[in-house]
C-alpha cells in the first residue's frame, strides 16, 4: 500500500509528445487524423489540459524511455475502442502500420499493440500468462466494451483473482474495461464492477476507477514502479475520454491517490459528504456550482480495493 512517486519531468513529456507526431517522410496521415495529432501536441506545448488518451500515451512513452516494455491487446486497441488512442498509425495510401512510440529513442524499450480476435477467454488467458513470465512488462488486456469481459470470466475467476493464493504466482496483468451507462444499449453498458469487488479478498488485486487523466497516468506508472505485482482492474471512461481536464503539472509531479479529497471548501462549512467515483464526480460538481451549494463536500474514491 506504500505510495510511489510517479511524476515525469516536463522535458521528458515534451519529448514524448513531439515523438508522437514524428513519422517517416514518405508516410501519409489520414486527413482527419493529422490535425487531431498536431493540435494535441500544440496544446501540450501551450500547457493546456490533457485528455485521457493523451495521458495514457504519455504514460506508455515514459515507461518505454525508462526501459519498461509495454504490451496491449484487445478489440480495436490500436486505434482505441472509441477512436481515441491512436497508438498505431496507418499510412493513408499504403495501409502500412507505424508505431511512433517505438521510435522515440534508440535505447528505449519496445511497445507491442495488437487488435485481438473476439475470443476473450483465449486472449486474456494468454495475456495473463505473458504477465507471469514477463513481470517487468506492463501487460494490458482491453475489452472493447466492459461487458465483453463476460467471455473471459472463467480466466478472471480461476486465474486473475486467485493465482497468488492457489499457486503463489504473482501477475501484474491489467484489465482495461470501458464502464458506465452511456445509452449504447444492454450489450455496451457496464464492466460489471460488482463482480470484481465480490472477488476481492486478502489484497489479491486492485480495482480502480479514475476521475481524471492524470490519475490514469499515475496509476499505470505505479503498476510498474512498485516492487511487487498485483492484477489491476480498471473501469475506464467512455463519454469522458476526450475531456481535457488534467493540467500538465499533475503529470509532472505527484502520484496516484486512492482517494481525492474535496479541496474547494473548508471542513467547518460542510453539512454533508458525498462519496462517488468517475464521471459522477464531474456531474455533481457541475450541479453544485449551478445550485451554489456550499455545504456539500464531494470526495472521490479512485481505488475501490484495497480500500
Task: Say what the pLDDT of residue 1 is.
Answer: 62
- Average pLDDT in the chain: 94
Side-chain-side CA neighbours of residue 176 (13 Å): 26
Answer yes or no: is pLDDT of 190 > 90: no
**How do residues 42-101 score in pLDDT, each as one tens digit?**
999 999 999 999 999 999 999 999 999 999 999 899 998 888 899 999 999 999 999 999
Mean pLDDT across 146-171: 94
Task: Say what the pLDDT of residue 11 is.
Answer: 96
Question: Which residues make Cβ contacts (< 8 Å) with residue 84, sequence separation at least 6?
Answer: 51, 52, 53, 241, 242
Cell numbers placing 249: 503539472
If one counts every other C-beta atom within 10 angstroms of the C-beta of residue 100, the result is 22
Higher pLDDT, 29 or 184: 29
Question: Which residues make Cβ contacts (< 8 Å) with residue 80, sequence separation at least 6?
Answer: 53, 86, 87, 241
**How do residues 243-275 score in pLDDT, each as one tens digit?**
999 999 999 998 999 999 998 888 899 999 999
Amino acid at each position: 500500500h506504500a505510495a510511489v512517486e510517479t511524476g515525469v519531468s516536463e522535458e521528458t513529456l515534451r519529448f514524448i509528445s513531439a515523438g508522437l507526431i514524428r513519422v517517416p517522410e514518405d508516410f501519409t496521415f489520414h486527413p482527419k487524423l493529422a490535425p487531431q495529432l498536431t493540435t494535441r501536441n500544440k496544446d501540450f506545448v501551450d500547457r493546456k489540459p490533457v485528455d485521457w488518451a493523451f495521458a495514457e500515451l504519455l504514460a506508455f512513452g515514459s515507461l518505454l524511455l525508462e526501459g519498461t516494455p509495454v504490451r496491449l491487446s484487445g478489440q480495436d486497441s490500436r486505434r482505441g475502442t472509441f477512436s481515441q488512442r491512436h497508438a498505431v498509425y496507418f499510412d493513408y495510401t499504403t495501409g502500412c502500420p507505424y508505431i511512433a512510440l517505438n521510435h522515440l529513442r534508440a535505447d528505449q524499450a519496445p511497445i507491442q499493440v495488437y487488435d485481438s480476435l473476439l475470443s476473450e477467454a483465449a486472449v486474456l488467458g494468454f495475456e495473463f500468462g505473458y504477465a507471469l513470465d514477463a513481470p517487468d512488462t506492463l501487460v494490458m488486456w482491453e475489452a472493447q466494451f466492459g461487458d465483453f469481459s463476460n467471455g473471459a470470466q472463467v480466466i478472471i475467476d480461476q486465474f486473475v483473482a486467485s493465482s497468488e493464493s492457489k499457486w503463489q504466482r504473482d501477475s501484474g496483468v491489467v484489465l482495461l474495461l470501458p464502464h458506465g451507462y452511456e445509452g449504447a444499449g444492454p450489450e455496451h453498458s457496464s464492466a460489471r464492477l460488482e463482480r470484481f469487488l465480490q472477488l476481492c479478498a486478502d489484497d489479491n488485486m486492485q480495482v480502480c476507477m479514475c476521475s481524471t487523466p492524470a490519475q490514469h497516468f499515475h496509476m499505470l506508472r505505479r503498476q510498474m514502479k512498485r516492487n511487487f505485482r498485483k492484477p489491476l482492474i480498471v473501469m475506464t471512461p467512455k463519454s469522458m475520454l476526450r475531456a481535457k481536464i488534467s493540467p500538465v503539472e499533475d503529470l509532472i509531479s505527484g502520484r496516484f491517490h486512492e482517494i481525492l479529497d474535496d479541496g474547494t471548501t473548508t471542513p467547518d462549512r460542510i453539512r454533508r459528504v458525498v462519496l462517488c467515483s468517475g464521471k459522477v464526480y464531474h456531474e455533481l460538481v457541475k450541479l453544485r456550482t449551478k445550485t451554489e451549494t456550499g455545504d456539500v463536500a464531494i470526495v472521490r474514491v479512485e481505488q475501490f480495493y484495497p480500500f
